[in-house]
Amino acid sequence: MANKAVGIDIGGTGIKGAIVDVTTGKLLTDRIKLPTPQGGEPEDILATVLEIVKRLDVGNKKDPIGVCFPAVVVKGRTLSAANVSNSWIGLEAEKLFEKGLGRNIHFVNDADAAGYAETLYGAAAKSDGLIIMTTLGTGIGTALIYKGVLIPNAELGHIQLDGVDYETRASYSAKERENLSWVDWAARLQQYYSALEAYFHPDLFILGGGVSKEYKNFLSLLHLNTPIVPATLRNNAGILGAAALAAGK
């Protein structure tokens, strides 16, 4: 297992990366962030990642690179696309990046990377059992980790409640779109997390996404059997998780 790795986090508006000490979860370099190219085409995003890797001065090609991306990722192939070009759907993304960067790449879903990082270095670092990470944003991203092992591509934001994908009602974008109060939004979150409890009986929920900074406004309104805590790694979670998975941490 490598002691350090590069983590790259690709988002719809920005791409960021850093070199990570995967033993401690500390960044060994400043985080470099560049805008996501307009249109989000694979070759354009690859070129931006190349520029970030160049600026990081990653001289040793044995240092692994982990890339997290807003898509279902199965055996290096991206099967969906969020806020990027539809050209990613069905793309052999891992192979494309390995060819472009000239080194081994580990491609992973962004929510999976963030959740895995939280179990290693963040909010769940001292927890065991089944952990469910939820990121409340435009939709609801989720990650399942059982006894330190990532169960990839859990799309639990699409659980059907009230006849709809419930992320359309309980995501943070739904709160903003419908101008919901914290109390009214918490009632929807209560229904969502209660369903996850009934289906999975987890040992811990981790709340991620930008709104996690405002957790004091709504977490106390939830009444769950499972402890729920805010994420702690914030904007570095994807970088840390991608790097750790690439390094075999």
Helix (H, G, I), strand (E, B) or coil at 2: coil
What is the pTM (predicted TM-score) of this model? 0.92
**pLDDT digit of tens for each residue in the chain (249 aa)?**
678 999 999 988 899 999 999 999 999 999 999 999 999 999 999 999 999 999 998 766 778 999 999 999 999 999 998 878 999 999 999 999 999 999 889 999 999 999 999 999 999 998 889 999 999 998 899 999 999 999 999 999 999 999 999 999 999 999 999 999 999 999 999 999 999 999 999 999 999 988 999 999 999 999 999 999 999 998 899 999 999 999 998
Residue 33 pLDDT? 96
Torsion of CA 104, 109, 115, 118, to 10 degrees: 40
Query: Domains of the chain: which residue ranges?
Result: 4-113+236-247, 126-232
Q: Would you say the CATH fold of 126-232 matches that of 4-113+236-247?
A: yes
Q: Looking at the domain that runs over 126-232, which CATH code has it been given? A: 3.30.420.40
Please name which of 110, 123, 109, 150 lies closest in space to residue 215, comparing C-alpha atoms: 123
Torsion of CA 153, 232, 120, 207, to 10 degrees: -30
Angle CA(163)–CA(166)–CA(167) in degrees, nearest 5? 145
Give me the helices (H) in 2-109, please: 42-56, 93-101
Q: Looking at the domain that runs over 4-113+236-247, which CATH code has it been given? A: 3.30.420.40
